[in-house]
């Protein structure tokens, strides 16, 4: 093969790699009652290392979530199983993971069943002044409210306290709980799931607090 042929082949390979990087699909949401593990893995090395550390029966898919490249691991029916694998990934591979779920209640709105899409801003009075600040180390339980501010009261009833307003991945969420207690965070996630809410547990250091208490 000539030098030009080698150069041409290398160019095609390079173009294919770039094209593949640009066509990572958005993550599919969990099925009703499923706990989904999303492991932040932006590089090919991260993804390879993660797959080598997981058993073959765990199906992994590389996809986009909140503009981040993650490895999607699904099929967990219990929060304890998802939590166990999240700790395993953190301890063995050193990658952070997000756990999300979808309620099994029949009255889930159609938009909650669609692919993960950007949300509209929570309706707030015009005189509201935000004082954005990053949360500290711990766990944040976030709730998708799908431009339905009336959900604030319902979330407050489930968690038994005030609900905050935050930004995560440049998207707005209701903050159900911010805690350093892992058990409290996962118990809250399960309560919200049982109550019909779409909720996630994330690393609180990546969450920006906009309002500590939301009032309608």
pLDDT at residue 105 in the model: 55
Nearest one of 67, 75, 73, 74 to 24, comparing CA atoms: 67
Q: Is the pLDDT of residue 165 over 80?
A: yes
Question: pLDDT tens digits, residue range 175-216?
Answer: 999 999 988 999 999 889 888 888 899 989 989 898 888 876
Q: What does the chain come to in residues?
A: 216
Question: pLDDT tens digits, residue range 77-123?
Answer: 888 888 888 888 887 788 888 888 877 654 444 333 333 433 333 33
CB 116 within 8 A of CB 26: yes
Q: How far is CA 23 from CA 19, 26, 45, 159, 196, in A?
A: 6, 9, 18, 39, 33
Domains of the chain: 34-102 (3.30.70.1070), 135-211 (3.30.70)
Rounded Cα distance between 151 and 125, Å, is 17
pLDDT at residue 73 in the model: 92
Q: Is the pLDDT of residue 128 over 80?
A: no
Mean pLDDT, the chain, whole residue set: 76
Q: Which residue has the higher pLDDT, 19 or 172?
A: 172
104: which DSSP letter? -
């Amino acid at each position: 093969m000539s030098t030009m042929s080698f150069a041409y082949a290398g160019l095609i390979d390079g173009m294919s790699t770039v094209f593949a990087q640009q066509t990572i699909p958005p993550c599919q949401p969990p099925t009703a009652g499923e706990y989904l593990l999303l492991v932040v893995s932006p590089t090919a090395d991260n993804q390879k290392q993660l797959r080598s550390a997981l058993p073959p029966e765990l199906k992994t898919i590389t996809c986009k979530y909140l503009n981040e490249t993650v490895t999607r691991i699904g099929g967990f029916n219990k929060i304890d199983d998802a939590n166990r694998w999240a700790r395993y990934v953190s301890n063995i591979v050193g990658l952070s993971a997000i756990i999300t779920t979808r309620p099994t209640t029949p009255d889930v709105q159609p938009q909650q069943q669609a692919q993960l899409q950007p949300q509209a801003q929570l309706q707030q009075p015009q005189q509201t002044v935000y004082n954005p600040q990053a949360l500290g180390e711990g766990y944040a339980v976030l709730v998708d409210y799908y431009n339905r501010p009336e959900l604030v009261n319902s979330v407050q009833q489930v968690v038994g306290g005030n609900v905050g307003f935050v930004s995560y991945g440049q998207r707005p969420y209701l903050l159900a709980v911010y805690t350093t207690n892992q058990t409290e965070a996962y118990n809250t996630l399960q309560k919200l799931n049982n109550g019909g809410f779409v909720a996630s547990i994330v690393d609180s250091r990546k969450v920006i607090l906009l309002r500590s208490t939301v009032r309608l």
